[in-house]
């Protein structure tokens, strides 16, 4: 692994992948803006996920639920009462920390704070003289819990104002639409609902670039099944989540399963797939067996019967849910880490090359005229390719420098237009990874590239 967080942040900023949020105002902690290259990669990641888990999954349906939901949703889900982090302030420098993160950092991941109560965490920090990462002192306030949901109000007059929350996960949109989707699609259990959308959490822990942000996108899929089949589907989604990453060219040795040591009160089983990020092994996605908790709670709080009636046996039951949840931004960071390579070339130069799976690369091809006076023909090829896939065009600087620029954003193919193109209609196609070049007819470019970027 050659990527460090600093190298990724610098490359992303310099190459239009990701910029610090609100930068001209000095930024805003834990927010990032995707640039022209980054938005393409992220959209491709989301498309690949949707294709795999909605389009190609015969019994799965997509939705796009509202971010703002009736506040009762968050009472039913338990978020208003228990979606909080254990925070403590350093009495010396006044920095706020998550107690569990302090313990994890101090013990270098050997102690798992998930299994500890607040009192146990306080005792550990005291007895092990855990220090503040900012000032080095070991003098903290007792733990206080802070709800992670962003709150706002709706209504124009003070009296009529109601508290609403920016959703902290997309999953609840899928649960509250269970009946709608089942009725309108006539889906039979087992079936799935998938969704991609923004979620918001008032995180105070160091973000580590886009690993942990206060606004992020989730790709979540809930599989509704009958109790008794849940174990088998849990295993199925563990494997499907892993296969998705491997098919995006992730090296399996950079991935591992990690069962949760402490299960949420409603969960029967839960596991993460961790990735070897520059910050070490950390959660990339989660797979949870949520039992019938979510639908039962919504039934209880809304008064609506969330039971499913088996059309053959007439049996009524509240389905179990297997949830697969992955952050689009976190997957983007993993994809950036995985793709980053520094290669020493003959002659001693180093090239930085982002070896993205072609399916998620921002531009599938860059069209480069060898000289500016070839631009007319080159632009015509660019326009033709752009009708099929996202492409870029560059005629500034030496051809070598232009290849390097494309390598740094991971463009899999560079199409060079030269004087022979005018004579016989052929172009050179340079492969990003091998740097080998082949000569093909410009008319064959579309099928040639389409074949290689298929996911
Ligand atoms: N519905 C279940 C749920 O939300 P989670 O483990 O809290 O579970 C699921 O989040 C995934 O969302 C994580 O595995 C991670 O990929 C992503 N995620 C969570 N919090 C995030 C944050 N603050 N910034 C970026 N991604 C985040």
pLDDT tens series, the chain, 455 aa:
799 999 999 999 999 999 999 999 999 999 999 999 999 999 999 999 999 999 999 999 999 999 999 999 999 999 999 898 889 999 999 888 989 989 988 998 788 887 888 999 999 999 999 999 989 999 999 999 889 999 999 887 666 678 999 999 999 999 999 999 999 999 999 999 999 999 999 987 767 999 999 999 999 999 999 999 999 999 999 999 999 999 999 999 999 999 998 888 889 999 999 999 999 999 999 999 999 999 999 999 999 999 999 999 999 999 999 999 999 999 999 999 999 999 999 889 999 999 999 999 999 999 999 999 999 999 999 999 999 999 999 999 999 999 999 999 999 999 999 999 999 999 999 999 999 999 999 999 999 999 999 99
CA distance 267 to 366: 48
Cα of 50 vs centre of ligand 1, distance in Å, is 17
Distance 122 CA to ligand 1 centre (A): 26
> Residue 112 CB: number of other CB atoms within 10 A?
14
Ligand 1 pocket, residue 285 CB under 6 Å:
yes
Residue 173 near ligand 1, beta carbon < 6 Å? no
CA of 425 to the centre of ligand 1 (A): 50
Q: Does the CB atom of residue 330 touch ligand 1 within 6 A?
A: yes
CB of 219 within 6 A of ligand 1: the answer is: no
- Return d(Cα 441, Cα 51) in angstroms, integer: 31
| 8 Å CB contact between 193 and 60 | yes
CB proximity list for 291: less than 8 A, separation 6 or greater: 227, 230, 266, 267, 268, 320, 321
Q: Quick one: pLDDT at residue 114?
A: 79
215 ligand 1 Cβ < 6 A:
no
Mutating to test ligand 1, I would choose from 65, 114, 199, 279 the residue with most ligand atoms within 8 A of its C-beta, which is 199
- Using alpha carbons, select from 361, 353, 427 the residue that is nearest to residue 392: 361
Residue 182 CB less than 6 A away from ligand 1 = no
Q: What is the DSSP letter of 447?
A: H
Ligand 1 atom with the smallest distance to the CA of 214 is 23
Does ligand 1 lie within 6 Å of residue 328's CB atom? no
Q: How far is the CA of 212 from the centre of ligand 1 (A)?
A: 8
Q: Identify the residue whose C-alpha is closest to ligand 1 atom 2.
A: 325
Task: Output the pLDDT for position 145.
Answer: 87
Q: What is the pTM of this model?
A: 0.93
169 lines ligand 1 (CB under 6 A): yes
Q: Which residue has the tokens 């000289």?
A: 371
The SS3 of residue 57 is coil
Distance CA 351, CA 66 (A): 44
321 lines ligand 1 (CB under 6 A): no
- C-beta 283 within 6 A of ligand 1: yes
Q: How far apart are CA 201 and CA 79, in angstroms?
A: 11
How many of the other CB atoms lie within 10 Å of CB of 236? 16
Q: In the Cβ-directed half-sphere of 335, how many Cα atoms lie within 13 Å? A: 30
Contact between 17 and 354 under an 8 Å Cβ cutoff? The reply is no
**Ligand 1 near 220 CB (within 6 A):** yes
Return the best residue to mutate from 325, 334, 336 for the ligand 1 pocket (most ligand atoms within 8 A of CB): 325
What SS3 state is found at 309? strand
Ligand 1 centroid–CA 273 distance in Å is 12
**In this structure, which residue's CA is closest to atom 14 in ligand 1?**
285
Q: In this predicted structure, what is the pLDDT of residue 158?
A: 67
Please give the distance, rounded to the nearest whole angstrom, from the Cα atom of residue 79 to the centre of ligand 1: 14
Whether the Cβ atoms of residue 221 and residue 324 lie closer than 8 Å to each other: yes
Q: Whose CA is nearest to atom 16 of ligand 1?
A: 327
Residue of minimum CA distance from atom 19 in ligand 1: 327
Rounded CA separation 70/174 (Å): 14
């Amino acid at each position: 692994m050659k990527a460090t967080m600093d190298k990724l942040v610098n490359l992303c900023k310099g190459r239009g992948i990701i910029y610090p949020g609100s930068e001209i105002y000095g930024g805003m902690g834990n927010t990032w803006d995707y640039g022209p290259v980054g938005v393409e990669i992220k959209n491709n990641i989301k498309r690949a996920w949707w294709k795999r888990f909605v389009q190609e999954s015969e019994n799965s349906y997509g939705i796009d639920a509202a971010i703002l939901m009736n506040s009762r949703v968050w009472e039913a889900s338990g978020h208003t009462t228990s979606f909080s982090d254990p925070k403590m302030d350093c009495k010396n420098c006044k920095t706020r920390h998550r107690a569990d993160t302090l313990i994890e950092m101090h013990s270098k991941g050997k102690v798992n704070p998930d299994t500890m109560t607040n009192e146990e965490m306080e005792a550990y920090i005291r007895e092990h003289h855990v220090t503040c990462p900012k000032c080095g002192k070991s003098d903290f306030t007792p733990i206080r819990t802070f709800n992670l949901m962003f709150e706002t109000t709706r209504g124009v007059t003070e009296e009529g104002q109601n508290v609403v929350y920016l959703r902290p996960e997309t999953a609840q949109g899928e649960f509250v639409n269970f009946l709608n989707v089942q009725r309108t699609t006539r889906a039979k259990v087992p079936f799935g609902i998938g969704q991609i959308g923004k979620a918001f959490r008032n995180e105070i822990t160091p973000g580590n670039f886009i690993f942990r942000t206060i606004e992020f996108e989730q790709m979540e899929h809930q599989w509704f099944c009958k109790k008794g089949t849940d174990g088998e589907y849990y295993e199925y989604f563990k494997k499907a989540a892993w296969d998705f990453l491997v098919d995006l060219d992730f090296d399996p040795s950079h991935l591992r399963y990690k069962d949760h040591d402490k299960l949420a009160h409603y969960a029967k089983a839960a596991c993460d797939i961790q990735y070897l990020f520059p910050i070490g092994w950390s959660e990339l996605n989660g797979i949870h067996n949520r039992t019938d908790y979510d639908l039962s709670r919504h039934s209880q709080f809304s008064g609506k019967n969330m039971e499913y009636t088996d059309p053959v046996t007439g049996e009524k039951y509240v389905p179990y849910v297997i949830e697969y949840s992955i952050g689009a931004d976190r997957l983007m960071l993993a994809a950036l880490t995985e793709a980053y390579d520094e290669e020493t070339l003959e002659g001693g130069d180093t090239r930085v090359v982002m070896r993205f799976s072609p399916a998620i690369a921002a531009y599938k091809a860059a069209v480069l005229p060898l000289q500016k006076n070839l631009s007319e023909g080159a632009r015509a090829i660019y326009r033709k390719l752009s009708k099929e896939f996202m492409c870029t065009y560059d005629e500034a600087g030496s051809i070598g420098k232009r290849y390097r620029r494309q390598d740094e954003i991971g463009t899999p193919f560079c199409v060079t237009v030269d004087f022979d193109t005018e004579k016989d209609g052929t172009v050179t196609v340079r492969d990003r990874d091998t740097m080998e070049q082949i000569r093909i007819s410009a008319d064959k470019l579309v099928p040639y590239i389409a074949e290689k970027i298929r996911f």
